[in-house]
Amino acid sequence: MSQEIAVIGSPDFTAGFRLAGVRRFANIPDDDMSEELDGAVEQMLADDEVGIIVMHDEDLDHLSRGVRQDVETSVEPVLVTLGGAAGSGGLREQIKRAIGIDLMEEDQQ
């Protein structure tokens, strides 16, 4: 059974992934982020078909302590955060090897 990528975040964050063919996503409006994010993350963690959950690193701050601990310690699915993290280059290569495509192919400044 193949594992799918799920993306959770604002509609602006998920749009590029949807255009690239990611079929599992949860759009969380910025003004409802704190209220709806926990539920969306818990739902993706419980989905046996999801192998990788992608979120913006800043959205982790909106998770409750328990859900954040669950997602950070989860082995499958694994959480991948994108955004301002300085060390994201190595993680990018790991994802590229794991799924065979570079999700962030365009030049990032």
In a domain, 106, yes or no: no
- Model confidence over 31-60: pLDDT tens digits? 877 779 999 999 999 999 999 999 998 898
In a domain, 46, yes or no: yes
CATH number of the domain at 38, please.
Answer: 3.40.50.10580
The whole-number pLDDT of residue 33 equals 78
In a domain, 108, yes or no: no
Percent of the chain, pLDDT > 70?
A: 76
> Is residue 74's pLDDT more than 90?
no
- Model confidence over 90-108: pLDDT tens digits? 566 656 656 667 766 665 4
In a domain, 81, yes or no: yes
Query: What is the mean predicted confidence (pLDDT) over 70-86?
Result: 81
In a domain, 105, yes or no: no
In a domain, 37, yes or no: yes
* DSSP label at residue 2: -
Residue ranges making up the domain that contains 17: 4-99
The whole-number pLDDT of residue 108 equals 47
> Is residue 109's pLDDT more than 50?
no
More confident residue, 87 or 49: 49
- Number of structural domains (the chain) is 1
In a domain, 107, yes or no: no
Give the Cα separation of 21 and 81 in Å (integer). Answer: 19
In a domain, 48, yes or no: yes
